[in-house]
Each structure stands twice: as structure tokens, then as C-alpha cells.
Amino acid sequence: MMAALTGKHAFVTGGARGIGAATARALLDAGARVTIAGRDEAVLAATAAALSAYGDIRHHALDITDPDAVSAVLAAAGPVDILVNNAGQAESAPFVRTDAELWQRMLDVNLSGAFYCSRAVLPAMLAAGWGRIINVASTAGLTGYRYVAAYCAAKHGMVGMTRALALEVAAKGVTVNAVCPGFTETDIVREAVANIVAKTGRNEEQARAELAAGNPQQRLVQPEEVANAILWLCMPQSAAMNGQAVAVAGGEVM
């Protein structure tokens, strides 16, 4: 895959850490020019500096829940060939204690942000006759989990949006797919572990084992494994992949 994406510009939201940073590295290795975006300017700058040895990488501070900010940043970044909607957030609560603010926050961060970014980059992709949109959903977009109804609803919505848009652009050189990781070694999982420890009295090792138990491989997925799936979907040779929701979860969801 070396240099297969030379000349392409990739924009990765949530690009400072975890899956986003691993994806930026994979895209750089494939020859793409990469822009990473996220809320924390300092962390973005540090990640961009660390990855600059691998290729042309830039960064923009961005709150993807603000449609005006999305339009402004993507206009400044220039035409995008590959969009990776990776930014996301997970919060848990029993259904009856899921208030309107938590519900809306999960929809804004996990679904609306991907909509705003996709809408902003799509005209240039259609004009060029080539583009890749990869939505980083979750196995929570394919099945249900207790205590995360709002997160599951948002991620199911992301998968639905993926399928609908994929059909709209199927004959126009643009593909739209979702990658659905299981529990992955990221900040979201570290927060989940801390939450389990705080609420149940289990230690960190027991909490991590509880999250890994749902994976038939009995382990947490690594960010680089998710990035590899994203990279594959970006390849010119993957043009027949469209409207798919690819689980990267060791067989948890089939």
C-alpha cells in the first residue's frame, strides 16, 4: 500500500489520539497528505509534530458539533479526498437517568458532527469524481449494549447515514463506509475502565478483562488494527466496498 494514496488529501477528525492518530500515521505511510482535527490544540500540535517524520501533516482545532466552524475549517484546509469521521464520545447511564442533555450530547458528537463534515467535503469529491468517506462507528452501531442507549442510538444513526449516502453517490466515484470497532485501547475504554472501578470496586485489571470478555479473542482491539481497516477502505482498489459496516471486533458481531 506504500504510496498508493500519493496526491490525496485526508482529513481525520479526532486525530490527536487513539484510532485517529493511528489512522493519520497509516495514511501518511500510504503517501497521503493528512490534516488532523480535534478540540485540543496542544495535543493536536504534539501529535502532528510526532508524525511529521512520516509525511506532510497539518492540524486544525475544531469542534465538530459547530456546523459553522466545520465549514470554515474545511474551507481553510482545502479540498478533501478522504474524510475519516473518527471523533466520538461515550457516556453511560441507565435509560431512566439519561437526561435530555446527555442524549443530545451523544447525538451531536457521534452523529451530527459526521454529518456536518461529510456535507462540507462532498461537493469537492463529486466534482473530482473520486472520494472516500469512512465513518468510525462502533459495534454499538450494530448491536445493543446496556446503559449506553444514547451512544448506541447515535452510532446506529451513523451506520444508517453511511448506507443512505453510499447509495446516493454510488455511481459518482465516491464510496462511503463505516468501520465498527469493538472495545479498543483508547481514551474511551480507559474512561470505561475507570468508571467500572469506581462503581463496582473491581480493580483495573478486572475491569479491563470484563470489557475484553465480549471479544471472542479475549482481548482489546488495538488502534492500529482499526486504522488498517480504514486504510484498506481508502485504497483505489477498494472501490467496490460501499455502504458497508465492517466490524473490527474479533468476531464479537457477525
Whose cell is 470497532? That residue is 181
Whose cell is 485501547? That residue is 185
What contacts 240, CB < 8 A, 6 or more positions away? none
Catalytic-role residue among 54, 116, 145, 151: 151
DSSP assignment of the chain equals: -TTTTTT-EEEEETTTSHHHHHHHHHHHHTT-EEEEEES-HHHHHHHHHHHGGGS-EEEEE--TT-HHHHHHHHHHH---SEEEE---------GGG--HHHHHHHHIIIIIHHHHHHHHHHHHHHHHT-EEEEEE--GGGTS--TT-HHHHHHHHHHHHHHHHHHHHHTTTTEEEEEEEE-SBSSHHHHHHHHHHHHHH---HHHHHHHHHTTSTTSSPBPHHHHHHHHHHHHSGGGTT--S-EEEESTTS--
Whether 145 sits among the annotated catalytic residues: the reply is: no
Active site residues: 151
